[in-house]
């Protein structure tokens, strides 16, 4: 809707990860360098951690986009509510292999596939998302897959992508053998105030933005304080902000407009989201934050999750309708 009003060629703040919109902050560039080093080694595990919405998946996809397609076979596992027995089947399925038969048969099938890829001059990469949900036994199953070797080296390299609690879990005694296989690690922290502004402008320029709408300095400051520098939160509020501004035919966005959208999000999602005072956020440091206790890994009920999604969509459309009616009343 707002794309047409502002003459944009696409949605700049979509929530789904898209490497085309990758923004290289200081932290992301450093993490990317670690990942590139790890990939060059061609073996072992690479561990990537960060808060929800920090850009972990986008970072990995951007890395894969830079790799030659004719030399890499990449597979991804996004559902990690799996026990050790199910993980092997998930890996086979991710590489397009059959999952029938017992464990020995599936291991044989997977090893043959990895060997065939190596003979063809291709490397096999496995990405396991939401790694903090994996049990020690499941992680051990993944470690065992790294034992697939040939005379020229390892047949499989794995990326473990998870939230900060995975680092705490990773330090446990049960993970000692897995830690010895890790060749690169990186943690993605939040964007600072300058990076938040650059991130917003970067995504807007990707879709043809020409300073319409313009943002005041105070608006950028408010967006950083509200989002705390987390990219996904920035995307959520900016998408709603552009919608609100277009419905009210605004060509400048200020701090009051940001607060208005934050209040609207508060109504829609039922949680109090206040923009903190400027001194409430500490500047980021090079030191990673202290690990947090592991989160619960109980699987969510599918029906409840679907109902929650429908409720959020209904709230969103209600907000849009409210804005349109308000705009029409002002005109008449």
Cβ-Cβ contacts under 8 Å for 130 (sequence gap 6 or more): 78, 79, 80, 161, 162, 163
Which residues are CB-contacts of 215 (< 8 A; sequence separation ≥ 6)? 200, 252, 253
Q: Are 15 and 235 in contact (CB under 8 A)?
A: yes
Predicted local confidence at residue 70, as pLDDT? 81
Handedness of CA 311, 313, 315, 321 (dihedral sign): negative
Q: What is the rounded distance in angstroms from the CA atom of residue 126 to the CA atom of residue 183?
A: 15
Q: What is the pLDDT of residue 292?
A: 36
Could you give the angle at which helices 255-269 and 217-227 cross, rounded to 10 degrees?
A: 30
Q: Are 234 and 12 in contact (CB under 8 A)?
A: no
**pLDDT tens by residue, the chain, 332 residues:** 899 999 999 999 988 888 889 888 888 888 888 888 888 888 888 888 998 888 888 888 888 888 877 888 888 888 767 888 889 999 999 999 988 888 899 999 999 999 999 999 888 999 898 888 888 888 888 888 888 988 878 899 998 989 988 888 888 788 888 888 888 888 888 999 999 999 999 999 999 999 999 999 999 999 999 999 999 999 999 999 999 999 999 999 999 999 999 988 877 665 544 555 555 444 444 444 433 333 333 444 444 444 444 454 455 555 555 555 555 555 55
**Could you tell me how far CA 245 lies from the centroid of its own chain?**
27
The residue count of the chain comes to: 332
77 neighbors 90 (Cβ within 8 angstroms):
yes
Q: For residues 22 and 248, is the Cβ–Cβ distance under 8 A?
A: no
For residue 6, the SS3 value is coil
pTM of the entire predicted model: 0.71
Residue 56 contacts residue 167 (beta carbons within 8 Å): no
**Which tens digits make up the pLDDT trace of 54-98?**
888 888 888 888 887 788 888 888 876 788 888 999 999 999 998
Domain spans of the chain? 2-19+191-331, 26-188
| 3 state DSSP class of 124 | strand
CATH number belonging to domain 26-188 = 3.40.50.300
pLDDT of residue 194: 95
Contact in structure between 203 and 90 (CB atoms under 8 Å): no
Give the pLDDT confidence score for residue 296 in this predicted structure.
38
Task: List, in order, residues 6 or more apart from 251 with CB less than 8 Å away.
Answer: 212, 213, 214, 245
Instruction: Give the pLDDT score at 244.
Output: 92
Query: What per-residue confidence (pLDDT) applies to 206?
Result: 94
């Amino acid at each position: 809707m707002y794309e047409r009003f502002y003459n944009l060629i696409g949605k700049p703040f979509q929530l789904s990860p898209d490497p085309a919109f990758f923004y290289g902050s200081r932290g992301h560039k450093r993490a990317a360098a670690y990942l590139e080093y790890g990939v060059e080694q061609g073996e072992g595990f690479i561990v990537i951690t960060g808060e929800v919405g920090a850009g972990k998946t986008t970072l990995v996809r951007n890395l894969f986009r830079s790799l030659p397609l004719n030399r890499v076979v990449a597979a991804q596992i996004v559902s990690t509510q799996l026990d050790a027995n199910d993980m092997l089947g998930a890996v086979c399925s991710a590489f397009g292999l059959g999952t029938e038969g017992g464990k020995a048969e599936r291991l044989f099938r997977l090893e043959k596939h990895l060997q065939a890829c190596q003979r063809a001059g291709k490397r096999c990469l496995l990405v396991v998302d939401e790694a903090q949900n994996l049990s020690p036994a499941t992680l051990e199953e993944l470690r065992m897959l790294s034992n697939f070797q040939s005379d020229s080296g390892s047949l499989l390299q794995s990326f473990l992508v998870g939230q900060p609690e995975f680092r705490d879990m990773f330090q446990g005694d049960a993970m000692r053998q897995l830690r010895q296989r890790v060749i690169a690690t990186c943690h993605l922290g939040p964007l600072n105030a300058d990076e938040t502004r650059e991130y917003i402008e970067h995504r807007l320029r990707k879709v043809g933005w020409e300073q319409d709408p313009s943002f005041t300095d105070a608006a950028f400051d408010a967006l950083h304080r509200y989002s705390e520098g987390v990219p996904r939160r920035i995307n959520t509020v900016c998408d709603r902000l552009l919608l609100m501004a277009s419905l009210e035919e605004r060509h400048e966005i200020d701090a009051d407009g940001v607060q208005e959208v934050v209040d609207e999000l508060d109504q829609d999602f039922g949680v109090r989201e206040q923009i903190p005072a400027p001194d409430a956020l500490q500047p980021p440091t090079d030191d990673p934050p202290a690990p947090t206790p592991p989160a619960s890994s109980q699987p969510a009920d599918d029906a409840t999750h679907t109902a929650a999604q429908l409720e959020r969509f209904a709230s969103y459309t209600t907000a849009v309708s409210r804005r349109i009616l308000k705009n029409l009343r002002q005109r008449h």
